[in-house]
Amino acid sequence: MLGGLFNALIYLMQVLQTVILVWFILSLLISFNVVNLHNQFVAAIWRGLNAILDPILNPIRRIMPNTGGIDFSPMVLIIGLMVIVKFMEPLVYRYG
């Protein structure tokens, strides 16, 4: 039972990593003007991704030093999630 819970948490963290990657790629496409926010579909996806990720990324942004125009908070979050998953994997095998 407990192993299933840890397994579900690992799965959610991997989904969050995928959402961060999609957000990053979409931000690059918007900044290089491949797609723009005048398209309602793109704007809706952008607002949704920001609504999901901003509450998670803002505390990381407050802690990190100012690096100019480069935002390293998504990379820090992905690395942190990967570390947490690596610590949780033995718990799945122990309790699963």
Q: For 9-52, how does the pLDDT look when each residue is reduced to its tens digit (9 = 90+)? A: 999 999 999 999 999 999 999 999 999 999 999 999 999 999 99
- Give the 3-state secondary structure of residue 86: helix
pLDDT at 63: 95
What distance in Å separates the CA atoms of residue 61 and residue 69, rounded to the nearest whole number?
A: 12
Position 43 scores a pLDDT of 97
Share of the chain above pLDDT 70, in %: 99
Tokens for 83, please give them: 């570390």
Mean pLDDT of the chain: 93
Specify the pLDDT at position 3. Answer: 82
